[in-house]
Structure 1
Amino acid sequence: MYVPAHFNEPSREILYHLIENNALGVLITHGRSGLDANHIPFELDASHGENGTLRCHVARNNPVWQDVATGDEVLVVFRAGDAYISPQWYPSKQDFHKQVPTWNYIVAHAYGRITIHDDERYVRRNVAKLTHRHEATQPAPWKMGDAPRDFIDTMVKAIVGIEIEITRLVGKAKLSQNKERRDIQNAGEMVNAPGDHPIGQAMLAAAARKV
């Protein structure tokens, strides 16, 4: 990923927060069948490994877990939001007429080594943790024990676990930081106009930091 210095997000804590709050990642692999991409919800264990570990599961019928081998390098992309930016939103455009459209976004790229876990106990534990995390916001959180045991046993047998030890974490927050403060501020307000938007909010924060 091309990351100009003004768009670089080096904070590991911020990137962890991005992953935890935007758990649906794109797992990109280059296995025996060539390039592949799968959209999968991940659990981040920031305490495991030097840069953290990602865990997920896929359907046993999904060929990805057999197409790659333990130890292969993979990439997982997480996106926190995106927004079109019109040049009309930059006040400086009215003065100099030297602006063009662009697209702003915030992403994290996690590179790592994959391990396949065709192990029922691993899968059950992984599913339980992922469910617990995402059901926590519900008034009456669902848990695996709410379903018949034989049904859960059948479902667990139908999936395979995946673990990715992160070797490199790259973040990019493209928020018009290369523009004047007034341009970032006004464009952020325009993105927010229909309602609070993650990119609009991030642009306003970037404008506040601009010197």
Structure 2
Amino acid sequence: MYTPKPYIEDDLATLHAGIRAWSFGTLVTVGPHGASATHLPFLLDAQDAGPGLLTTHLSKKNPQYDELRAGAEALAIFQGPHAFVTPSWYVKQSTFPTWNYTAIHARGTPRVIEERMAIHAVLRRTVALYDTPLGGNWNFDAMPFDFVAPRLDMIAAVEIPVRTLEGKFKLNQDRSEDDRKGVIAALERLGDPQGVAVAGLMRQQMALAVPG
């Protein structure tokens, strides 16, 4: 990922927080027939050694499953909030429009898991993270295992020990403080959720840049 120096984000805690917040990611591999991409929910575990462990699951009917089994290198992309930025919001307007955005790239060699109970455990964790907080009546653990088991055979879990983790937080760090304040005010005034989220990240960046 091309990342000019002002936009580099390499704080591990910040990158982990981003992955968890934007956890519906894109898994990319390159196989004999070219590039493949699947959009998947990811779980993240921090580890004592290395940038972390990503876990997801996908259908065995997905052609990417065969590439993963073959040991294809994997790239997981996590896209955060983004917003168009017009020079009209700057004090100094002798420039061009741009796009503020946040993205995290994780690379590693995947391990495919096909054992039933291991897949079941991944699904339980996924349900606990995404479904349980909604407070609905559906209960995954209450489903008869005889009903669940055949479906477990139709999917595979995938673990990706992350080898490299890259973060790009392009938030006008190369503009003046007044220009950045102008962008923040405009995005908040427009009220689009993506833009408001970008404005919030810009405020955080500016606060961190203030000498303590």
> Is TM (by shorter chain) over 0.5?
yes
Aligned residue among 161, 166, 169 for 1:170: 166
Q: Is the 8 A contact 2:68 2:111 kept in 1?
A: no
Unaligned runs of 5+ in 2: none
Cα deviation for residue 100 of structure 1 reads 1.0
Cα deviation for residue 38 of structure 1 reads 0.8
Q: Deviations over 1:92-113 (max 9, x none)?
A: 22xxxx1211001011100111
- Percent identical: 28
TM-score, structure 2 as length reference: 0.90
1:111 corresponding residue in structure 2: 107
User: Residues 74-153 of structure 1 correspond to what in structure 2 (within 5 A)?
Assistant: 74-93=74-93, 98-140=94-136, 142-153=138-149
Aligned residue among 151, 169, 184 for 1:155: 151
1:37 corresponding residue in structure 2: 37
1 CA distance for matches of 2:142 and 2:42?
22
1 CA distance for matches of 2:188 and 2:132?
28
Query: Is the alpha carbon distance of 1:37 and 1:153 closer, same or farther for their aligned partners in structure 2, counting shifts above 3 Å?
Result: same
Cα deviation for residue 148 of structure 1 reads 3.8
Query: Is the alpha carbon distance of 1:65 and 1:48 closer, same or farther for their aligned partners in structure 2, counting shifts above 3 Å?
Result: farther
1:189 aligns with 2:188: no
Cα deviation for residue 121 of structure 1 reads 1.5
Q: Is the 8 A contact 1:123 1:160 kept in 2?
A: yes
Q: What secondary structure does 2:109 align onto?
A: strand
Name the count of aligned residue pairs: 207
2 CA distance for matches of 1:61 and 1:48?
35
Give the residue type in structure 1 aligned to 2:42.
F
Cα deviation for residue 167 of structure 1 reads 0.2
Query: Is the alpha carbon distance of 1:39 and 1:62 closer, same or farther for their aligned partners in structure 2, counting shifts above 3 Å?
Result: same
Unaligned runs of 5+ in 1: none
| Runs of 4+ residues deviating >4 angstroms | none
Q: What secondary structure does 1:137 align onto?
A: helix
Query: Is the alpha carbon distance of 1:68 and 1:32 closer, same or farther for their aligned partners in structure 2, counting shifts above 3 Å?
Result: farther
RMSD over aligned Cα atoms? 1.8
Cα deviation for residue 70 of structure 1 reads 5.1
2 CA distance for matches of 1:131 and 1:32?
34
TM-score, structure 1 as length reference: 0.90
Q: Deviations over 1:55-112 (max 9, x none)?
A: 110012111111234543211000111101011111222xxxx121100101110011
Cα deviation for residue 136 of structure 1 reads 4.0
Query: Is the alpha carbon distance of 1:141 and 1:204 closer, same or farther for their aligned partners in structure 2, counting shifts above 3 Å?
Result: farther
1:10 corresponding residue in structure 2: 10
